[in-house]
Amino acid sequence: MVSYDLLELAFLRTQSRLTTVSVKLDTSVVNVSILWTLCRLPYLTHLSLQVYGTIELAVLVAETLGCCPGLESLTLERWIPNTPRPLLKMLKANVKRKMASRFNQSPKTVQEAVGRNELAPIRLGSPLPVAQPLQRFPSTMESSTITNNIRRLDLCMLLDDVPVFDELIKSCSQLNDLHLRDELIALDHQSWTTLSSRCPNLWTLRLTGKKSRLLIGSSVLLIPLFPRLESLHVHLQAIQWTDWATTNVDRCLAEHEQKFGTRHPLKTLSLTSDNTTSLPIISCILAARSLDIQTLTVGSLWSSQDSYDIDPVHGASASRFLINLSQEHLRSPWHALRETLVQLDMHTTIIATKDITRTFLRRLQDLPKLRALCVSTRHIHDWVPPSYRALHFIWKGELPVAHTFGQSSVVDSIGVNHGDFFTIKLPTVSYSFAPLREFFIKSYPFGHGGYKDITIEQALFVLAAMPGLEYFVAEDGVISKESLVELKEGLPKQFRPLPKECLAWIDTVHGYK
CATH classification of the domain holding 52: 3.80.10
Residue of 142, 43, 26 lying closest to 88 (CA atoms): 26
Instruction: State how far the Cα of 459 lies from the Cα of 118, in Å rounded to an integer.
Output: 66
pLDDT reading at 250 higher than 80: yes
Average pLDDT, the chain: 76
Overall number of domains in the chain = 2
Q: What is the pTM of this model?
A: 0.82
Q: What percent of the chain has pLDDT over 90?
A: 28
pLDDT tens readout for residues 164-216: 888 888 878 899 999 998 877 778 888 888 899 999 999 999 998 876 567 77
Decide if 443 is inside a domain: yes
Instruction: State how far the Cα of 439 lies from the Cα of 374, in Å rounded to an integer.
Output: 6
Gyration radius (Cα) of the chain, Å: 28
Which one has a higher pLDDT value, 319 or 49?
A: 49
User: Which element (helix H / strand E) includes 252?
Assistant: helix 246-260
pLDDT (average), residues 294-310: 71
The predicted structure's pLDDT at residue 164: 86
Decide if 474 is inside a domain: yes
Instruction: State how far the Cα of 289 lies from the Cα of 250, in Å rounded to an integer.
Output: 6
pLDDT reading at 412 higher than 80: no
Q: Any idea what DSSP says for residue 217?
A: B
Decide if 245 is inside a domain: no
Instruction: State how far the Cα of 57 lies from the Cα of 456, in Å rounded to an integer.
Output: 56
Instruction: List b or e across 39-52, with b for residues whose CB sees 16 or more CB atoms inside 10 angstroms.
Output: bbbeebbebebebb
Which one has a higher pLDDT value, 227 or 157?
A: 227
Residue of 429, 481, 433, 430 lying closest to 454 (CA atoms): 481
pLDDT reading at 296 higher than 80: yes
**Final residue of a structural domain among 168, 202, 236:** 202
The residue type found at 125 is G
Instruction: State how far the Cα of 153 lies from the Cα of 507, in Å rounded to an integer.
Output: 18
Instruction: State how far the Cα of 292 lies from the Cα of 340, in Å rounded to an integer.
Output: 6
pLDDT class for 289, splitting at 50, 70, 90?
A: very high
**Final residue of a structural domain among 181, 202, 223:** 202
Range of the domain at 90: 1-202
The predicted structure's pLDDT at residue 25: 85
Decide if 250 is inside a domain: no
Instruction: State how far the Cα of 412 lies from the Cα of 390, in Å rounded to an integer.
Output: 11
Which of 21-35, 305-319, 381-395 has the least mean pLDDT?
305-319
Decide if 275 is inside a domain: no
The predicted structure's pLDDT at residue 129: 38
Decide if 189 is inside a domain: yes
Q: In three state form, how does the secondary structure of 329-398 look?
A: HHCCCCCHHHHCCCEEECCCCCCCCHHHHHHHHHHHCCCCCCCEEEEEHHHHHHHCCCCCCCEEEEEECC
User: β-strand 73-79 against 46-52: which pairing, if any?
Assistant: parallel
Most confident of the ranges 331-335, 417-421, 426-430: 331-335
The predicted structure's pLDDT at residue 212: 56
**Final residue of a structural domain among 175, 202, 229:** 202
The phi, psi pair for 171, rounded to 5°, reads: -110, 15
Most confident of the ranges 121-125, 420-424, 432-436: 432-436
